[in-house]
Structures are given as structure tokens and as C-alpha cells.
Amino acid sequence: MPKVVVPEEKRRRRRPTRSGKVLSEQMIVDTALRLLREHGAAGLTARRLGLALDCDPSTLYRYFRGMDELTLAIGDTLIGQALQGWGPTGSWRDDLRTLGLRIHAAYVAHPQAAVLTTSRVTGRANELAADEAVLTVLSASGLPVRQAVAVYHAFIDQTLAFASLDAASLALPNAALLAEEEVWRSTYSRLPSATHPHIAEAAPLLATQMVSSAFPAALELLLDGVAARMHPRPS
């Protein structure tokens, strides 16, 4: 039988922890984000969380049914951070671009958490708000619902896929990340044009561009595709 989750208002009336903290879902999520940043996914355990919050690990199960539910709450918190301060401008392209960049940035700001959560569907309030925002923008653009859903699917999956890819790189140890970046400057730049003519020609550009995220460029390509659907060229 799953553990009963006590409503937030009842939790707040409970006595504080040994250090005087009154636990809340947000406090647990914020502490989990810090542990992920400092120790990676392997460091996020109920025992370590209990130590960080100065409470018995079993107390956490009054707020979350398990560590997987906490993971979903972490993902939803990142989406909430992306939405903070955002509002539609009336320009579908500007609004989609801003939403995409915000969501991507919120995840890569917490790379270890992003690796855990970008592939998950939370069904929580912030995720629902983000989905509603994207679909509202697409609906206001004049796209029929079937096309709007297709664009939404491509938009959100592309955004999360790049967030996952970029976060995975950022989550690497610094030495490994620097070593990978050096490969573009050393191995690729030294390939002879006789055997690899196109790589040799592109090597300087590869060395500067491949060490940064391609998401902004990919997002513009997607937006170009959406615009083409809205205003098809005459045959």
C-alpha cells in the first residue's frame, strides 16, 4: 500500500526539526537540488537528505511517496523557474523562442538534476502551465489544433533533448569536459585535407562552434519550419 502523503497545511503545523527548521516540499526540493549539484545523482538519497535537513529520513515520506516522486517534483520546479516572469507578447515566434530558451536555460543551470528529469512527465502544476502556454501561443498564431499539437510535440521534445544533451556535458568532471573540447582543436584541426577535405576546411569553425550548444540555431530552424506551415509558398 502506498504511503499516505500528508497535506502541506498539516505538515507545517508539525513540530520543527532538531535544528528548528519547519519542513516543506519546496525546502526538500531545494535541498535535493543542492545535493545533486554537489554530489551528483548518486548522492541524492533519503539518508543524505535527512542529514542535510537535520531530520529522520523517514520524515521525508510524509511529503513524497518515494525518491521517484521527489525526482518529478525537482523537474517540475525547474520548469517553474523557466516560467517565472514570462508573459506572452502577441508574437508567436518571439514567444516560442523565449519559452524554448528559458526552459533550456533552467535545466542546464542544474545539469545533474536535468539529466535525471528531462525525460520525465511530471503531470504537476508547472509542467501543465508550460504546456498550456505553448499551446496557447500556437493557437493564437492561427494553427489548427492538429498542427498545433504536432508543433508542440516537436518544440518541447527538441527543447528537452538539447537540455539533456547539454546538461550531460556540463555534468562531466571539469577535466573530462576540457579534454573533449580540446579534441576539436587538436585532432580535428590536424586532419589532412588529402584524407578529410571537408573537415580540414571546416576545422576552425568546428573548434569554435562545437563547444557551445546548438540549441539556439536548432530552435530557429524549427521556428522557420512553423512559419513555412503558416505561410506556404505557392506551387
Give the rounded percent of residues in the chain with a pLDDT score beyond 70.
90
Query: What b/e readout covers 161-178, taking b as 16+ CB neighbours within 10 angstroms?
Result: ebbbbbbebbbeeeeeee
Q: Which fold is adopted by the domain 8-65? A: Arc Repressor Mutant, subunit A (1.10.10)
Of 51-60, 104-113, 132-141, 150-159, the range with the lowest mean pLDDT is 51-60
Type of residue at 107: Y
CA distance 80 to 125: 8
Burial class (CB in 10 A: 0-12, 13-18, 19+), 7: exposed
Predicted pLDDT at 3: 47
pTM for the structure as a whole = 0.86
State the pLDDT confidence band at 2, using cuts at 50, 70 and 90. Answer: very low
- Residues spanned by CATH 1.10.357.10 within the chain? 74-230
Predicted pLDDT at 48: 94
- Find out if CATH 1.10.357.10 is the number for domain 74-230: yes
- Residues spanned by CATH 1.10.10.60 within the chain? 8-65
The closest alpha carbon to 126, from 94, 91, 96, 102, belongs to 102
Predicted pLDDT at 16: 64
Q: Are 116 and 71 in contact (CB under 8 A)?
A: yes
